[in-house]
Amino acid sequence: MQPMSRSERSALCNSALEAGQDAPTLCEGWSVKDLVVHLVVRERHPLGATGIVAPPLSFLTTRTSRALARQDFTALVERVRSGPPVWSPMALPPVERAANTLEFFVHHEDVRRAAPSWEPRELTTTEQGALWRSLAVAGRGAVRSSGVPVQLRWPGAPEGTGATTLRSGADPVVVSGEPSEVAMLLLGRDQHRGVTVEGPPDGVRRLRGSDLGL
């Protein structure tokens, strides 16, 4: 069975082509083509990608993105589908899984859930587990700006794997739900279902009001 990072990559590309380049996404102000361009920059243009993680260099990302946006949409999608180039660290399977499992799942849902009739997908326990493991690491950065203790709980998890702490401390805010839906919440998307956020009222307010995401 292929890693979820690869299956979501392929599924995202299929959904992007089905939706069309001008369709909206959950990424504010981005069309499907804008999202595809972002993925190409991230994997194939190291200089342009620096602005994604270093805002003072965002002009490099903007410049690279504008050049790519003039290219054919289908060709850009197929570039994403083909995966990272051989010279990229992301071509190494462990790095690719760590960097892309959440990235491609959430961006796939950014395309899917922008449609008014969206419904959550039925994911396997293995797929939910892959997202859960990614959340246990990436989730720490996602909630850092909240400044409050945060614990995640997965009610339907295999025995012994259903809780993880993102920020330690007394009286944590507890976020519970399927990993796929928790991922959407923690990465700043409003379109999620079945997630509960419980704990001290001030902590819940601060978490919900913070700049969630990576």
Query: Domain segments of the chain: what residues?
Result: 4-112, 127-209
CB 26 within 8 A of CB 113: yes
- Position 211 scores a pLDDT of 84
Task: Give the span between the Cα atoms of 69 and 67, in whole angstroms.
Answer: 6
What percent of the chain shows pLDDT beyond 70? Answer: 100
Residue 1 has pLDDT above 80, yes or no: no
Averaged confidence pLDDT in the chain: 94
Residue 213 has pLDDT above 80, yes or no: no
Q: Which long-range contacts (CB under 8 A, 24 or more apart) does 115-124 make?
A: 115/19, 118/191, 120/178, 120/180, 120/181, 120/193, 120/194, 121/180, 123/178, 123/180
CA triple 67-103-121, angle to 5 deg: 120
- The region, left, alpha or beta by phi > 0 then psi within -120 to 50, assigned to residue 199 is left
Residues 125-163 as b or e (16 or more Cβ within 10 Å = b)? eebbbbbbbbbeebbeebbeebebbbbbebeebeeeeee
Going by pLDDT thresholds of 50, 70 and 90, the confidence category of residue 214 is low
For the chain, strand residue ranges (E) read 150-153, 163-167, 173-176, 196-198
| Cβ-based neighbours of 160, under 8 Å, separated by 6 or more | none
| Cβ-based neighbours of 46, under 8 Å, separated by 6 or more | none
What tens digit of pLDDT does each residue of 44-58 get? 999 999 998 898 999
